[in-house]
Structure 1
Amino acid sequence: MRPRVDAVLFDKDGTLFDFEATWNVWAGQVVAALSGGDHGLAARLAAAARYDLAAGRYFPDSPVIAGTNAEAAACLATELPGWRVEEIEQFLVEAAADAPLAEPVPLVPLLAELAAMDLSLGVVTNDSESVARAHLTTAGILRVFDFIAGADSGYGAKPAPEPLWAFARATGHAPDRVVMVGDSTHDLRAGRAAGMWCVGVLTGLATAEALSPFADVVLPHIGHLPAWLQGAPVEND
């Protein structure tokens, strides 16, 4: 049975923006900048973040993928004894604002279509709120969202349900009339804990097999969301 939905809550990285196309290149740039040309240090930083330097991509088990900037900074700090974790986190926040964003589908028309369905829209990310707002502004979609929260917005971070409940309160919708859309088990576990419907998408690094136990449906990407909400069968691209 398809849910009666009043609102859609999106994760950012891997959902609104394709994870690999956006963050693999960025991560290589960060490792290069922090290592300052020291190839041994670059290898150690990459290992700490579970990033494959040779392939230029994260390993699927990287804690950075669904983690917060603070968690990513803590990973890197093990190899940067001259840096405080807070300094690394600030470096990551500033660097992330200029990440090369890759949309899995054209976002402006898709979000306009969802807004025309009289749905409240929001974003809850484990990135910082300032970076989220910068990315949404760059993509030309900031104003369509009724609520935006990052891990530093005061509601906590996924997989805890508190930031999702904050969206429900802010928009005045019962959690069971909200759909949480994300590419990681962090997103979907948060959605389950919040009592929301859960939609997985395959534009992150998680497989359908990994997401399915926590999802009501797994879609190739968010472009399939309007049709699914209106009862159409799921099609693979």
Structure 2
Amino acid sequence: MIKGLIFDKDGTLFDFNATWGVFTRRLLVSEAAGDATRLDRLATVLGYDLSMNRFRPGSLVIAEPIDVVARAVLSVTGPGDLGALIARMNAFSADVPQQPATDLAPLMARLRAMGQTLGVVTNDAEDPAMRHLEDAGILDEMAFVAGYDSGHGAKPSAAPLLAFCKATGLRPMDCAMIGDSPHDLTAGRAAGMTCVGVLTGPASRDDLSPLADIVLDSVADLPIWLARLI
């Protein structure tokens, strides 16, 4: 029986392109510093469609931690201060208004009422992740929150998911990993958890199905799915 739910953040709790599409263009324009060729190269290396202000499926921004994204940016802009770029990106991230995939506060309250222990494991940094969850009114519902910089590693490693189990006392087999990317589900598989894909990120059902036990339209469908397992 599922007793613990671990959520990815971007693309799972929050709609990925609705949240990050336009704001990422602003960041790329800033880093390109008026150079149109550099802007095109930045968009290409990050898997971003400038004409649509959307990320393409498979974009490294979808699943990789911010240090990997920052190194990709520097591969285009030239040698620079990695730490300073990460700081700019984290500041940018923290201020981006998140677009929830559904009405999250009542959903999390419902899941808690169903006896679920909740947590978030994201490849975003911990500080902006905590701010996003607080702004959405769901931080207090979480028994565990980890970013890539929380000391547990980053997905697709199973380590941060197993850290959730250690913190809550739950067995991996009694937990589900919910995410919008293959990285999320690969981590869930490695941890020995049930894997739930959601379609509120750029990945398609075909992308997620090989790694998922089930693919839902969004996290809003979780209560119905859980009820069917009883």
TM-score (norm 1): 0.94
Amino acid across the alignment from 2:71: A
CA distance in 1, matches of 2:34, 2:132: 29
Q: Deviations over 1:133-162 (max 9, x none)?
A: 011111111111000000001110001000
Decide which of 150, 153, 158 is 2:155's aligned counterpart: 158
CA contact 1:32–1:42 (8 Å) conserved in 2? yes
Matched with 1:202 is 199
How many residue pairs get aligned? The number is 229
CA distance in 2, matches of 1:114, 1:103: 16
Matched with 1:147 is 144
CA distance in 2, matches of 1:37, 1:140: 38
Secondary structure at the counterpart of residue 230 of structure 1: helix
Tell me the percent identity.
Answer: 46
- The CA RMSD over aligned residues, in Å, is 1.1
Q: Are 2:149 and 1:133 aligned?
A: no
Amino acid across the alignment from 1:53: L
TM-score (norm 2): 0.96
Q: CA deviation at 1:36?
A: 2.7
Amino acid across the alignment from 2:213: D
Matched with 2:22 is 25
Q: Are 2:131 and 1:97 aligned?
A: no
Matched with 1:78 is 75
CA contact 2:58–2:203 (8 Å) conserved in 1? no
Matched with 2:209 is 212
CA distance in 1, matches of 2:76, 2:213: 40
More helix by share: 2
Amino acid across the alignment from 1:56: N
Q: CA deviation at 1:82?
A: 4.9
Matched with 1:119 is 116
Secondary structure at the counterpart of residue 146 of structure 1: strand
CA distance in 2, matches of 1:53, 1:101: 20
Q: Deviations over 1:164-223 (max 9, x none)?
A: 000011000000000110000100010010000111000011111111111111000000
Q: CA deviation at 1:25?
A: 1.3
Secondary structure at the counterpart of residue 64 of structure 2: coil
Secondary structure at the counterpart of residue 224 of structure 2: helix
CA distance in 2, matches of 1:186, 1:72: 15
CA distance in 1, matches of 2:7, 2:26: 27
